[in-house]
Amino acid sequence: MVLRTDIKTEVLMNLYDAGYSASELSKKFNTTPKMIIDRLKNSGVITRTMNNYNTDRLSRVLSDNQRGENNTNWNNGSSKLFGICECCGKKFVTNKCGRDIVRFCSNKCAHIVMESPMKGLTGKNNPNWKENKKKAFRKSLRDLDIYKLWRDKIFERDDFTCKDCGYRGGYIEAHHITPFAEILNKHKILTYDNAYDCEELWNVDNGITYCLKCHTKNDKNRNVDTRRWLKRLI
């Protein structure tokens, strides 16, 4: 191990200013990084942090005399692609990004040529069109204020308690004893005005409080996916 007095401080300072790290200098002079740092600090040199060191190293690697063809990683420009746009005919240069062929100069040109097969197929012309919209309408009725008021009245009357198992509080639901869909079909409810005017739909006596488990058990029209999910929890 070389003694501290065997290394000239001026040499260390010059090499450190040139960008060498304490680790590199310790290997060069067969000593420890701590000894190098201590010698520099005792000489009034402000040592670099690891971030400073990495920045300095990067600036040296990317200095002006190491750019382009002078760079050791130069690949003769093969990271670029040259092409002619199939839409506008414009010549363009772009990055490869793992591609061997680029057909268009921009997304705009690509969208003009490669139109979506569903373009213009709206409404009844769309293959996903569903003539019967009753399901969506019926589902939206549960978002009405009058529905929420009906539900809250049932919860208050039943003291927020499941009328099947006696579970109180937590997650509970209001169930139509006479099915919701049956009332809608019976009174031919097709609009929100029809729904508001139907007294049977909002009759509190036609409601009962259930927990999720009991609601799923007692409601034959309950969503099948909900039943399967609940079975996994039980």
Residue 125 in domain: yes
pLDDT at 3: 47
Do 23 and 46 have their domain in common?
yes
Give the domain extent around 59: 4-65
Residue 72 in domain: no
Which of these three, 129, 147, 171, is where a domain ends?
129
Question: What is the rounded distance in angstroms from the CA atom of residue 150 to the CA atom of residue 203?
Answer: 8
Question: Regarding beta strands 207-211 and 172-176, do their DSSP bridges make them parallel or antiparallel, or are they unpaired?
Answer: antiparallel
Token readout for 1 is 């191990």
Residue 152 in domain: yes
Residue 17 in domain: yes
Handedness of CA 210, 212, 217, 219 (dihedral sign): positive
Do 208 and 147 have their domain in common?
yes
Do 117 and 186 have their domain in common?
no
Strands (E) across the chain are located at 80-84, 91-95, 172-176, 207-211
Q: b/e map of 27-40 (b: 16 or more CB within 10 Å)?
A: eebebeeebbbebb
Do 58 and 110 have their domain in common?
no
Distances (CA, A) of 47 to 5, 37, 124: 20, 7, 74
Do 60 and 29 have their domain in common?
yes
Token readout for 147 is 């529905």
Do 226 and 139 have their domain in common?
yes
pTM of the model: 0.40
Do 28 and 55 have their domain in common?
yes
Do 121 and 144 have their domain in common?
no
Residue 98 in domain: yes
Torsion of CA 156, 159, 165, 169, to 10 degrees: 90
Number of separate domains in the chain? 3
Residue 154 in domain: yes
Do 140 and 92 have their domain in common?
no
Question: What is the rounded distance in angstroms from the CA atom of residue 40 to the CA atom of residue 33?
Answer: 11
Which of these three, 38, 65, 92, is where a domain ends?
65
Question: Regarding beta strands 91-95 and 80-84, do their DSSP bridges make them parallel or antiparallel, or are they unpaired?
Answer: antiparallel
Question: What is the rounded distance in angstroms from the CA atom of residue 168 to the CA atom of residue 160?
Answer: 6
How is residue 63 annotated by DSSP?
A: S
Do 157 and 186 have their domain in common?
yes
Which of these three, 129, 147, 162, is where a domain ends?
129
Half-sphere exposure of 6 (CA within 13 A, CB side): 7
pLDDT at 161: 93
Do 114 and 148 have their domain in common?
no
CA 163 from centroid of its chain's CA atoms: 42
Do 120 and 151 have their domain in common?
no
Q: Please give the average pLDDT of every successive group of 10 residues along the chain, which has 234 residues.
A: 64 80 82 83 75 53 59 62 89 82 88 75 73 68 90 92 88 89 89 89 93 84 56 52
Residue where the block lists tokens 């099915």: 179
